Structure formats: C-alpha cells, structure tokens
Amino acid sequence: MGVYFGNYCYVMIIVLVLGAEVRSQLLKNGYYSTSCPKAESIVRSTVESHFDSDPTISPGLLRLHFHDCFVQGCDGSVLIKGKSAEQAALASSGLRGFEVIDDAKARLESVCPGVVSCADILALAARDAVDLSSGPSWTVPTGRKDGRISLASEASNLPSPLDSVAVQKQKFQAKGLDTHDLVTLLGAHTIGQTDCQFFRYRLYNFTVTGNSDPTISPSFLTQLKTLCPPNGDGSKRVALDIGSPSNFDVSFFKNLRDGNGILESDQRLWSDSETNDVVKKYASTIRGLLGFRFDNEFGKAMIKMSSIDIKSDVDGEVRKICSQVN
C-alpha cells in the first residue's frame, strides 16, 4: 500500500505538471496580431496616460496582476466585483489600478469588440507599468481567457507579510514557481508601497518585552519610527524601497542586505540560506553583469507567473466588461 501510494503521488505530480504545460501552450506571442493588431499599443498608451498623472499606479498594476495569478490563475478573476468576490477579501485591501484596466478595455471594445480578454490586458499592463518605471520590458505571451469564478475565500492562499520563508516557498511552489522565482518576483517591491499597519509591530511590539525587530538596522529603525509613530495613522503609505521608490532597480535587494527591509517577509529572505544566495547575487556591488541580471530574470519570472492556470474557451470567456462575467 505504501509503495502504491507513493507511485500514485508521483503520477499525480506528473499529471499536474503536464496539465500546466498544456495550458501554458494556449498562449503565444502576437496572439492578437490579426484579430486586433493595435491591442498591445492601446493598452500601452492607456497605462502611459494614467502613469503620467500618477506614477504610483505602476506598483498597483503589478500587485493586481500578482493577486490575479495567485487566485484561480491568471484569468482576470480579481477584476470581478461582488460581495463574495476576490476584491472583498482582506488580502485584497488596497488593490488599485482597476480604472486603468477598465479604461483600456473600453478602448479595445470600441476597436475590437469581444476579442481581447481582461486577463491579457492585466498581464500587458503590468509589463508596461514596469517598463515605464525604468525597469525591463519583455514579450508577453497572450491568449488568456477570462474566468467566470471569483471567490474571496480562495484569496487565503496569497502570500502574507507575516509568512515565514518556508511558507512563502510552499505558496510559490504550489503555483509552479521555484525559490529563484520567489525572490525575483518579490523584487517588484522596489516600486511597491505598504501601510504602516502592516509593519509597525516590528518597530514597537516585536518581542514579548516590547522591543523592535533586531533585524532592522538601528538607523533605519529611527527613520521608520518617524514615518510611523506608535499612535499614528495606520493607513499611511510608505515606500517599500525608500532609497529609490519610483525606480525599478536592485536597491530593494541591497536594502535586505543592509537590514533595511520594511516587510518582515521581505527581510526574512536574507536569513534563509537558499533565498539569501539569490538576494546576494542581485545586491552585488558589481555593476554591469549582475546589475542587469535582475532585469533579465524578472521578465522571465513574470512570463512564468503569468502562465499559471490559464483558462481556455472551455472554462473561460472574453468579458465585455471586466468587472462582471458575461
């Protein structure tokens, strides 16, 4: 029985991997080259217009795409409105960028009605947001269909700022992403923001005696306490990369090396031997080869993430309005 169970698990793993590969093959570069040739340029111009008005929309779009892919797969389910939809989950607090996707969708519907999926718009918008923030660009395979299910209860598997490295690894592995992908994708925090309420406990109540988290450098601790006083506004926004908050670069990894990580889950990447190795490579003071490597690796990791649980014509559709199923 024991041997049979082991073989059964092995077979199941192969089936899951092959299933994921088959679904990822539904995507291809230039999917809309014939059906809607201007699709990508329309998304780009829409994102650029919003970015010009508010550059902080970039991390918002990145986070929106990340949340979409980790719940139900990259199927635009995070865009659906409803009392029990993903947007209602606690983990979805602060999600933004919906108006950018809606704007792009409206423009696309006027040119190519019923052709471009909301899921693809979100994947393209995330890429353009990074590019506009002085980050890398990459070719986004398209052809995703929009899902019909969105449940707040399923958002519980999203990574949390309180997660240990082991738990983070488990959550990423469950989506077919390895440790290298984990560290690389968290590098998106180089342009991210968070609320004081999500890390203030590290400043005042981290230990049973009420002391701060010892992994925070003393000088940075003073800076954070000024930004987030004990009785201050918990919703106050703070950049996750205070050194260069609007530039997509490797300073986030240097912050972790120097004890200047804001989220506990981020700083913990430095204390785990496996994740530390990746962080050190990205944080290297040697510019050029290692400095550019993060740019290259991030694009590859994003392509991999944006291929999670792709929907087909059988279990998906092309929504007319991104916030509701057809």
Is 50 in the active site?
Answer: no
**CA-wise closest residue to 152 among 92, 101, 95:** 92
**Residue 86 among known ligand-binding residues:** yes
| Opening angle at CA 96, ends 70 and 187, nearest 5 | 55
Contact predicate 296/136, CB 8 Å? yes
**Residue 128 among known ligand-binding residues:** no
CA 140 to chain centre: 15
What is the separation, in whole angstroms, between the first and last Cα of the chain?
47
Q: How far apart are CA 99 and CA 105, in angstroms?
A: 10
User: Among the options 50, 65, 67, 180, which is catalytic?
Assistant: 67
CA distances to 108, 110, 165, 265, 267 from 186, rounded to whole Å, are 31, 36, 12, 10, 11
**Residue 133 among known ligand-binding residues:** no
Q: How far apart are CA 192 and CA 133, in angstroms?
A: 11
**Residue 272 among known ligand-binding residues:** no
**Residue 249 among known ligand-binding residues:** yes
Q: Is 30 left (phi over 0), alpha (psi -120 to 50) or beta?
A: left
Q: Helix, strand, or coil here: 292?
A: helix
Where does 27-164 have alpha helices with state H? 39-53, 57-70, 98-111, 118-132
Q: How far apart are CA 202 and CA 210, in angstroms?
A: 10
**Residue 189 among known ligand-binding residues:** yes
**Residue 73 among known ligand-binding residues:** yes
**Residue 241 among known ligand-binding residues:** yes
**Residue 37 among known ligand-binding residues:** no
Q: How far apart are CA 85 and CA 91, in angstroms?
A: 12
**Residue 159 among known ligand-binding residues:** yes
**Residue 161 among known ligand-binding residues:** no
Q: How far apart are CA 34 and CA 137, in angstroms?
A: 23
Instruction: Give the annotated binding-site residues for heme b.
Output: 189
Catalytic positions are: 67
Instruction: Give the annotated binding-site residues for Ca(2+).
Output: 68, 71, 73, 75, 77, 86, 190, 241, 249
